[in-house]
Amino acid sequence: FFRALEGDGVYLNPEQLAAVRHTDGPALVLAGAGSGKTRVLTVRCAYLIHEHHVSPEQIMLLTFTRKAADEMSERLGRIPGISREAAGRVTAGTFHSVFLRLLRFRGNHETIITSERQKQVALKVLMKQQGLKDDYEPEVLLHELSNLKNCLQTIHDLPERTTQDKQKKSLLLAYEDWKAERQLIDFDDILVNAYQLLQTDDALREKMQRRFRYILCDEFQDTNPLQYQIVQLIAAPDNHLFCAGDDDQTIYSFNSADSAIMLNFTTDYPEAVRLPLLINYRSDARILGLANQVIAKNQYRHVKSLQAAGAPASLPVFLQPGSVQEEAEKVHQLIYELTAAGTSFQEIAILHRTANTARALFEELTFSEVPFTSYSQTETFYEQSYVKPVVDHLRLALNDDDEAALSGILPSLYIAKDTSVPNVTSDGLLQSLPLLPQLKAFQKTKVEKRVELIKKAASRAPEAAVKLIREPYEAYLTADGSGETTADQAMVRETLDELETSAKRFKTIAAFIEYIDELTRRTEMVRERSQSVTDGVKLMTIHKAKGLEFPVVIVLGASENLLPHHTALEACADRTYAQGAAGQARPSQQKLALEEERRLMYVAVTRAAKQLYVSSPAQVHGKPAGVSRFLLEAYQTTGATEADAPAKSEPVYETKERLVWDCANRNCHAWQQIKSEAEEEKQCPLCGSLMKKAVKEVPLRTANA
C-alpha cells in the first residue's frame, strides 16, 4: 500500500507513517502548521479501507470549516489506493453537515435559518412584544445564546439576579418558541438536537456507535464542548478516535472553541497515543522561520518543534503603504507583477483580518480586470447594515425626494421602516417627515433636528458630511446602555471610520454617491463573472483560510489596531479568565485576546507555500498605525536589521508605454492592450462603455499575457 502511494508521489516520513498505521484506540496528533496532519488523516482513511478492510461507511471524517471540509474530501479522492467511489462513501464534512444528515435521517425536517438578519429581526419583534423597545442588541444576544449552547448549557442555566437577567431570559425563551412554532432551527440547534437525540435514544446511539467505528477529526483545536461531547458519545465504547490539531491555530474562541479540550485529550483518554509530526512540508524555510518567530511569543501554548523540509529560498516581502488606499493600489500592481512573472491568478490568495480591512482592495479589484472571488464579501461595503443608513442620509442631502433613502433613515429615528411618508409640503419628501401625524413630542424634535442636519451636511464635502451624520446615528446604534456591546460599538466605530476614509477621496457628495452606485453595479457583474470563473485571485478572511494553502499569500492590514485588532487591545484587562490551564497563573482577558490575534497572524503566514507578502499600511481607518507588533517582535528575535527589513524590497515594475484601449467612463479603470491596429471600436468588458485609444505605462507583460 505504502509503496503504491510513493509510486504516485505521496510520501510519508517515519512519524507520519506511524500515525497512519496507528491501529485501534484513541490517538492525538498534536503538530504545527503544514506538518501533514490533514495528509495523515486522509491517507489513514485509505489505509483503513485498503489494509484493514474497514468499509468506507464505517469511517467518519470531521473538520470545522466548509472550505477545509471540501479540501479534505478532494484530497481523499486523490489518494491512490482508494477509489473515488469508495472515498464518496466515507461520511466526511463539517460537524454541522454530518449531524444535519443524522437529523434528516431521523425524520427531523426543520428549516435551517441561514440569514443572521432573519434572526435579528425576529428578536427585535419579540423585544417589542415584550415591551423592551431596543433595549438589547440582537447580535449580542444571539452570540450569547450560541455560546451557551456550544458550552452545553441551556437558557434555564442563565442567572436571574437582576431585572435585566430576567428580561433577557424570557426574551431568549420566546425566541426558542418562535423558532419551534415555525419549525425553524439555527446552526447551533443542529448540534444541540443531535446531541440530545444521541443522549436520550439508546438504540440510535448504539446504532451510530456500531456504524461509525472509526472517527477521524481534523482541526481538533477548534472543537467546542458540545462537539466534543458528541464525538465522545459516538466513539464509545471502542474509542477508535483519531484527532489531529495544532493549538497554535485556535482562532475560533469566540465560537466557544477551546484548545484545552485538545490539550486535555490524553487525560480524558489515558490510553491515547501521542503522535508528533515535526517537519513542515508546505512553506519555504524563510516563511516558516517568520511564522515560528511570531508564535514563539505566545505564552499559553504547547511548545512544538517544527522545521522546514526544504532549503530557504524566498524571503517574505514587507510592504509599507501609506494608507489602505495605497495598499490596495500596491497589491493590485503586485498581482500584475506576479502574473507577469508566471504566477497564475488562482495561485494567489489575499488574506485579511476583518471584512473592513479589505474594503479598499475589494473596490480596487472590482474596478480592474483582475479576476477574483471574494469569500467574505458578497455585498459592497456601502450596503452593509451599519453603513447603508449613513449613505442614505447622504443621498437625502443630495436629493430630498429620495423615497428609498428616506425609509432607510427611519429606523434611526425610531420610526418603522415601512411607514409611508406622504408628501404634504410642496418641498421635498424630507420636509414632510416632521409633519407625520403619529410622531410623539420627543420624536418630533429628533426628526426636526435630523432634517436640519441633513441640510447642513448637503453643503459639506463628503468626509465632513459623514462626520456630521454619523454622530446621531452612532448614538442611535449604541443607545443600549447595558454596557455589553463594547465589541459592537468598536465595530461600528471602525466601520464608520472606514466610511470616512473612503469618502475622503471625493470632492462632492454627488461624486461619492455616483461612485457607490457604479461600484454596486460592477460588484453585480463581478459576482456573475466569478460564478463562472473559479480561477481568479482569492480574497478571504484569515478565519476562512484555516487549513488551506496557497503558493502566494498576501496578508493585508498587518498594522496595529487591525492585527492585533483594536477590540483585542481594548479587551478588559482586569477580568480574569475562568478556565486557566492547570498549573498556570490565570491570564488576563486582554492577554488571551492578544494571543488569539497572534495565532491569527501565525495562521495567515503559514498558509503561504512559496511566496509571502505582508502589508502594513501606515494609516488604518483614517488614523496613523504602526507596523503590527507581531512583526516587530519577530524581527527583534531574528536580529534582522533595518537593512534587511523588507520595506525596502518593494516590487519594482518594468513598464513600457503602450497603445491601449482605455475605458471612457471616468469611474472605470479598465484598460486592455490593443491587439490589432485594425480594431476600430471596442466596448469595455467591465462597464460596457465605449473605450478609447490612449497611451499608457503598462507592466512589461500584462496580466493577460
Binding-site residue ranges for ATP? 31-38
Which of ligand ATP, Mg ion, none does residue 39 bind to, with CB < 5 to 8 Å depending on kind? Answer: ligand ATP
Binders of ligand ATP among residues 219 to 248 (CB under 6 A) are: 246
> Residue 397 region, left (φ>0) first, then alpha (ψ -120 to 50), else beta?
alpha
Stretch that binds ligand ATP, among 36-44, 418-426, 465-473, 653-661 (CB under 6 A): 36-44
| Positions that interact with Mg ion (CB under 5 A) | 37-38, 547
- When the beta carbons of 6 and 524 are compared against ligand ATP, the nearer one is 6
CB of 274 to ligand ATP, least distance (A): 15
- When the beta carbons of 16 and 615 are compared against ligand ATP, the nearer one is 16
- Asked if 63 touches ligand ATP (CB under 6 A), the answer is no
Q: How far apart are CA 356 and CA 349, in angstroms?
A: 17
Q: What one-character-per-residue DSSP string does 315-339 give?
A: --EEE--SSHHHHHHHHHHHHHHHH
- When the beta carbons of 450 and 607 are compared against Mg ion, the nearer one is 607
Give the Å distances, CA to CA, from 671 to 535, 666, 694: 20, 12, 9
- Asked if 281 touches ligand ATP (CB under 6 A), the answer is yes
Residue choice 289, 547, 617, 646 for contact with ligand ATP (CB under 6 A): 547
From the list 132, 275, 288, 168, the residue with the least C-alpha distance to 216 is 275
Looking at beta carbons, which pairs linking 267-274 to residues 24 or more positions away fall under 8 Å?
A: 268/232, 269/25, 269/26, 269/239, 269/241, 271/25, 271/26, 271/239, 272/25, 272/26, 272/27, 272/28, 273/22, 273/25, 273/26, 273/27, 273/28, 274/27, 274/28, 274/30
Which of ligand ATP, Mg ion, none does residue 592 bind to, with CB < 5 to 8 Å depending on kind? Answer: none
Which of Mg ion, ligand ATP, none does residue 628 bind to, with CB < 5 to 8 Å depending on kind? Answer: none
CB of 16 to ligand ATP, least distance (A): 6
Which of ligand ATP, Mg ion, none does residue 359 bind to, with CB < 5 to 8 Å depending on kind? Answer: none
Residue 79 three-state SS: coil
- When the beta carbons of 12 and 553 are compared against ligand ATP, the nearer one is 12
Q: What one-character-per-residue DSSP string does 515-574 give?
A: HHHHHHHHHHHHHHHHHH--SSEEEEEHHHHTT--EEEEEE---BTBBTTBHHHHHS-SS
- Asked if 44 touches ligand ATP (CB under 6 A), the answer is no
Cell representation of residue 329:
493600489
Residue 156 three-state SS: helix
Residue choice 188, 364, 549, 597 for contact with ligand ATP (CB under 6 A): 549
- Asked if 2 touches ligand ATP (CB under 6 A), the answer is no
CB of 218 to Mg ion, least distance (A): 6
Q: How far apart are CA 275 and CA 703, in angstroms?
A: 45
- Asked if 352 touches ligand ATP (CB under 6 A), the answer is no
Residue choice 5, 22, 28, 34 for contact with ligand ATP (CB under 6 A): 34
User: Over the Cα atoms of the chain, what is R_g?
Assistant: 28
CB of 72 to Mg ion, least distance (A): 8
Q: How far apart are CA 74 and CA 562, in angstroms?
A: 33
- Binding pattern for the stretch 592-621 against ligand ATP, x by CB under 6 A and - elsewhere: --------------x---------------
- When the beta carbons of 316 and 547 are compared against ligand ATP, the nearer one is 547
Cell representation of residue 139:
447580535
**Residues at the interface with ligand ATP (CB under 6 A):** 11-13, 16, 33-39, 246, 249, 281-282, 547, 549, 606
